[in-house]
Structure 1
Amino acid sequence: MQRSFFAGALARVACALGVCAAGAANAQLSHRPDAMLQHGFEAASAGPVGDAAAARFLAQATFGPTLADIAHLRAIGYQAWLDEQFAASTTTSEPYLDWVAGLPDEPDGNNYVTDDTRLESWAINVVGSPDPSRGNRVATDQLRQRVAFALSEIFVVSSENGTLAYSPWSLASYHDMLAANAFGNYRTLLEQVTRHPAMGIYLNSIQNQKADEAQNIHPDENYAREVLQLFSVGLVQLNPDGTVLLSDGQPVATYTQTTVRGFAAVFTGWNWSNVGCGENTYTCCDEETFHWCGPSNPDEAPWQRPMEPVDAYHDTTTDKQLLVYDNVVLPNGLLVHGGNAQVELGKALDNIAKHPNVGPFMARRLIQRLVTSNPTPAYVQRVAGAFDDNGQGVRGDLKAVIRAILLDPEARYGQWSRQDTFGKLREPLLKLTHLWRAMEGRSTGGRIGSLAPWPPIEDWYGQAPLRSPTVFNFFKPDFRYPGEVRTLGLVSPEFQILSDTMVVSTPNNLYYNVFCYYTGSDRCWDSEDADTIQMNLARDAPLAASNPAQLIEKYNVLFMSGQMSPFMRNVLATQLATITQSTHGSAYGRVRVQNALYLIVNSPEYSIQK
């Protein structure tokens, strides 16, 4: 169903490469993969039973499968691979920024740290290229980094904020915090998100003061609203399976404006970690007038340390109405005044974390980011059950949640059992990382500058990590594309950034990556730059030259998890057959690889992750 939205795109790309006639001639070939014998009798957690199943799992759990990863997963199985990933050390970004800042100050200014430097570090980690700041160590925590990226699209902060745009260390620290907590406990994650200075800046909770009518000061409600609406419980009460709870046929609100005011009062009295100014008070040099007091330089420690309480500015005189639900943590959800900032924060976050909505709310959002846009209520309920109890009486264990998401029968077999509604539009940035990883993308100098060209990467792909245009992420989880999706009551989040501009710019940038950036290339102005990622097209060029059908099958596994339709296979074969030694000389094997890659990554079948 969803693939139909991209059907025209494949036809236009094919026409551009001279295969329109082939598409017409093969119109009777099926556009669906062959499902025969695809659903085994073994448990979903068993296997994988073949390379295609391994590649599909890795498409959900990493930034794109590689040949080595497929072989490794097949050798050890799903469960052991998850255990291995859960135990892998966390790869961070902050040290990379420190390393760049310490480089010699050469004329080109390559030791100048900006937010593009943070993006560069992120790319090195997720692509798995050798990290020059760590002795060329290769990051191995793909699942952790993939989940951290998913969390960054839920617990949003962004460099679009005027202050954070010039605070790369703080944003790197925030992403590192998400990575560190990706397999931890939701309650711990929620507190670390709440206390991080990047969030304090982004949603105005840093230096948020208690009410003072004489000075017309009122607690800022920004973070109070978003922590409820976007980070935890949502706007309406949910059933355990994530469906909306109805009363007299109407949704039931999760909270009221009184609740927002209560949480806003809780989130008062938090400031930078001690910056040596006014003895960690809100004032700086003038004890009677409020002044901005914070770190002067973007690399200073307070940008990375959790905010600290300043009780003089915390509301201790007001009873605070928090969330009300069955078996609520606080009697009637009322936080009685008198506690200090730290104590009240802890009680308020407990009040949120134990709300029955949190399990299905987080389950659905993480399923959407990793597996499918429209999980069944049963799938959501199974994952929410793992959130509520990891099997050992622990609530909020994200490790158990991720395991439940990836090993659920719907995740492993949904592409066959629910062919018309299962899947998700691949995020455009993940197309790029998949291409780089699958084709062994590396730069000769170790650094990566090609992720932040001009225009910036988000202009090409509509997104970049921690660069969302709003707190609602690049796209909303309940966005419904007009037409068939909306009519059927389905959602299609990623389609929200599939604008007319992105339909053109994303394939254009992928074109440059495929046809310009490969080992030994001098085709484009920056092809030979030391910080340009170059793909290893030579690896598959001999196979493409000798047996294009086998090349297609190899890429069917590596990029499409074995789900290429007969129609698409025939389009590719027809196009590759037009590229011969007589038309392209000794480079015809490489050119076949390039044509195959470009057609695949822009095709409707690949664009929908099934």
Structure 2
Amino acid sequence: MVRESTPRTWLKEQIDLSPTLHHDLFQSPFPGLSKRNRLNAWYQIAIGAEDQFRQRAAYALSQVLVVSQQHKQLGSRAEAVTIYYDVLVENAFSNYRELLEKVTLHAAMGSYLSMNGSKKSDPSKNSYPDENYAREVMQLFTIGLHQLNQDGSLKLKNGQPIPNYGQEDIEEIARAFTGWKQDDWAFNKPMITDTRFHDYESKTVLGNHIPAWQTPEQDVKAVLDILFNHPSMAPFVSRLLIQRLVSSNPSPAYIERIANVFDDNGDGVRGDLEAIFTAIILDPEAQSGDSIKIKEPIIVATHFHRAFSAEYSKDRITDANRIMVYAHQKPLGAASVFNFYSPNHMPTGVLTDESLLAPEVELISWANYVDLVNYLATYAGYNPRYDLTLQLDDLTDAAFDSDELVNLINQKMFGSSMSLDLKTVLLENLNQHSSNASAFLRVYHAVSISLASDDFFIQN
């Protein structure tokens, strides 16, 4: 008997797969440990690994818990960034509280947001604890700037948003985060304590008392526990993860349903990422097909190569950097801790008129769109410079049957959801070519038009 797969069973099968990690692939078969090896490893796993749900969840987390190799101290430490990314992969279905602590103490994050080497106050030297990570862990990684209702809407007082924290809270957390340093020059290992520089006095964070004489480890755990249990945490993080995976404009009800799962997975556990990601995908709003988002350029590229089962000619992909140059986007390569784009970006024009967000559009200028489409379209032909080859034999066999060719493209590129408008354009274009046109040319034009379409750049 063949068991029918449902979305829930497929997700569970995906969750149960062993994580595909980047570090081993990063190290071999090409030594050198360069930035390009990191990108090659990421792209090869993105288009070929079996555990795709985990990989997409990790990529979503990488855009919340941001580090970037554009940072001066990480620019030459591709291995550290690779290991950081693998922390997200390994813990994509663990618990957000556990992941938050691992991220906090990772040397790549310690370097990126300067918790590494932060020391207790010494007014005689005009030296004070670094406030960078203390600020961003609240603003971007946990609770956000303002108090939220469970559905993600702002709580108001006298018509104004209510701040979640103030400068004193930042300073108190910065004190709690003193006394940590890197364990190795490469930033590959978690940070270790340097108790000489830890502030052992008591602290008060968001109205919660942290007693004196706690160790650096105890202070970090105390702060993260306070943030993790804050009422704004669930709706803030839930909305971000929904946006990265399903919808740029989730309804308040959708956010509230996921925030409720964040608060309690059904077994009394808070922050269960397996339950959260599963709920995001299986939510009625996600399954209805009405939730849409613009694909990021790098997701457009990976989708295209996966659609045609791209094969690499060597033991591994060696030229992912070129793809990412044309995509104008590299994983863990954002310009700042605020990620590639704002989750609240609203382009001018029709979307503004409708009060709709489209964060990814911030990355996709007309010039960037043309760059990416023109580059990816070349894969639909034969070019031995590239180490990725699309599997187009079935399209070539159907090249002179316009209906069948369009049907195959619909299945492969659009999951059989191609719009009637695009089908019409494709058939009109194919019918303009005489029967003497080569099969290659007919396939190339049909794939290129599909690639450039709105349909392909919109995820629904």
Question: C-alpha root-mean-square deviation of aligned residues, in Å?
Answer: 1.7
Quote the residue 1:97 is aligned against. Answer: 26
Alpha-carbon shift at residue 414 of structure 1 (Å): 4.1
* 1:20 alignment counterpart: none
Q: Which residue of 1 aligns with 2:195?
A: 311
For the pair 1:320 / 2:203, whether they are aligned, the reply is yes
TM-fit CA distance, 1:267: 1.1
For 1:602, which of 431, 448, 452 is the aligned residue? 452
Of the candidates 398, 402, 424, which is equivalent to residue 293 of structure 2?
A: 424
Q: Pick from 46, 58, 65: which aligns with 1:148? A: 58
**Aligned equivalents of 1:77, 1:594: Cα separation in 2:** 34
Alignment of 1:120-519 (within 5 A): 120-128=40-48, 139-273=49-183, 275=184, 295=185, 298=186, 303-317=187-201, 319-323=202-206, 332-415=207-290, 422-453=291-322, 457-515=323-381
Contact 1:579 1:591 in 2 (8 A): no
Structure 1 counterpart of 2:93, one-letter code? F
- Deviations 1:431-488, CA, capped at 9 Å, x for gaps: 11111111111111122123113xxx44421211111111111111001111222233
Query: What is the CA–CA distance in structure 1 between the aligned matches of 2:437 and 2:442, rounded to whole Å?
Result: 11
Identify the residue that residue 399 of structure 2 maps to in structure 1. 544
Give, in angstroms, the shift of residue 551 of structure 1: 2.2
Per-residue CA distance 1:367-407 (angstroms, 9 max, x = gap): 11111100000000001111100000000000000111011
> How high is the sequence identity, in percent, across the aligned residues?
36
**Deviation at 1:96?**
1.9
Aligned partners of 2:251 and 2:333: how far apart in 1?
Answer: 30
Partner AA of 2:266 in structure 1? G
The correspondence for 2:432, drawn from 562, 578, 600, is 578
Give the corresponding residue for 2:384: 528
Note if contact 2:377-2:451 (Cα within 8 Å) is conserved in structure 1.
Answer: no
Give deviations 1:100-148, integer Å, cap 9, x for gaps: 35xxxxxxxxx322111011011111111xxxxxxxxxx3211111111
Q: Give me the whole-angstrom Cα distance separating, in 1, the residues matched to 2:370 and 2:180.
A: 45
Provide Cα deviations, 1:320-378, integer angstroms capped at 9, x if missing partner: 2312xxxxxxxx32223221100111111000111111111111111111111000000
SS class of match (1:158): coil
Shift of 1:234: 0.5
> What's the offset of the Cα at 1:504?
2.2
- Tell me, yes or no, if the aligned pair for 2:395 and 2:408 is still in contact at 8 Å: no
Count the aligned residue pairs. Answer: 459
Unaligned 5+ segments in structure 2 are: none
Letter in 2 for 1:310: D
C-alpha distance in structure 2 between counterparts of 1:337 and 1:593, whole Å: 70
What SS does structure 1 have at the residue aligned with 2:174?
A: helix
Whole-angstrom CA distance in 2 between matches of 1:600 and 1:243: 38
Tell me, in whole angstroms, the C-alpha distance in 2 between the residues paired with 1:209 and 1:307.
14
Instruction: State the secondary structure of the residue aligned to 1:536.
Output: coil
**Matched-pair contact (CA < 8 Å) for 1:158–1:466:** yes
**For 1:503, what is the secondary structure of its paired residue?**
helix
CA distance in 1, matches of 2:324, 2:43: 14
Out of 33, 53, 69, the residue aligned to residue 113 of structure 1 is 33
> 1:554, CA displacement in angstroms?
2.6
Alignment check: 8 A CA contact 1:100 1:112 kept: no
Alpha-carbon separation, structure 2, partners of 1:264 and 1:406: 36
CA contact (8 A) 1:468 1:474 kept: yes
Shift of 1:186: 0.4
Q: For residues 220-249 of structure 1, what are the alpha-carbon distances to aligned partners after superposition, in whole Å with 9 as ceiling and x for unaligned?
A: 111111111111100000000111111121
CA deviation after TM superposition for structure 1 residue 314, in Å: 0.7
Q: Secondary structure at the match of 1:351?
A: helix
Deviations for 1:5-39, whole angstroms, at most 9, x for unmatched residues?
A: xxxxxxxxxxxxxxxxxxxxxxxxxxxxxxxxxxx
Q: Where do residues 8-19 of structure 1 align in structure 2 (5 Å cutoff)?
A: none
In the superposition, the TM-score normalised over structure 2's length comes to 0.96
| One-letter code aligned to 1:340 | T
Task: Output one character per residue of 1:540-564: Cα deviation in whole Å (capped at 9) or x when no partner.
Answer: 210223x221221232233223332
Determine whether 1:80 maps to 2:1. no
TM-score normalized with structure 1 length: 0.73
Cα distance in 2 between the residues matched to 1:84 and 1:444: 30
CA spacing shift, 1:167–1:493, aligned 2, 3 Å: same
Contact in 2 for aligned 1:239/1:357 (Cα 8 Å): yes
Structure 1 unaligned segments of length 5 or more: list them.
1-71, 102-110, 129-138, 276-294, 324-331, 416-421, 516-520, 522-526
State the structure with bigger RCO (CA 8 A, min sep 6), 1 or 2.
1
For the Cα contact (< 8 Å) 2:377–2:447, is it kept in 1?
no
Cα deviation per residue 1:202-237 (whole Å; 9 max; x = unaligned)?
Answer: 110111111111121111111111111111100000
Residues 486-535 of structure 1: CA distance to partner in whole angstroms, max 9, x if unpaired?
233221100111223313212222222333xxxxx3xxxxx325x61111
- Secondary structure of the 1:605 match is helix
Q: 1:556 aligns with which of 410, 413, 430?
A: 410
Cα deviation, residue 98, structure 1:
2.6
The one-letter amino acid of 1:413's match is S
Map of 1:56 onto structure 2: none
Matching residue's letter, 1:316: Y
SS at match of 1:76: coil
- 1:83 & 1:568 partners in 2: Cα distance? 34
The amino acid of 2:300's aligned partner reads K
Tell me the secondary structure at the aligned position of residue 582 of structure 1. Answer: coil
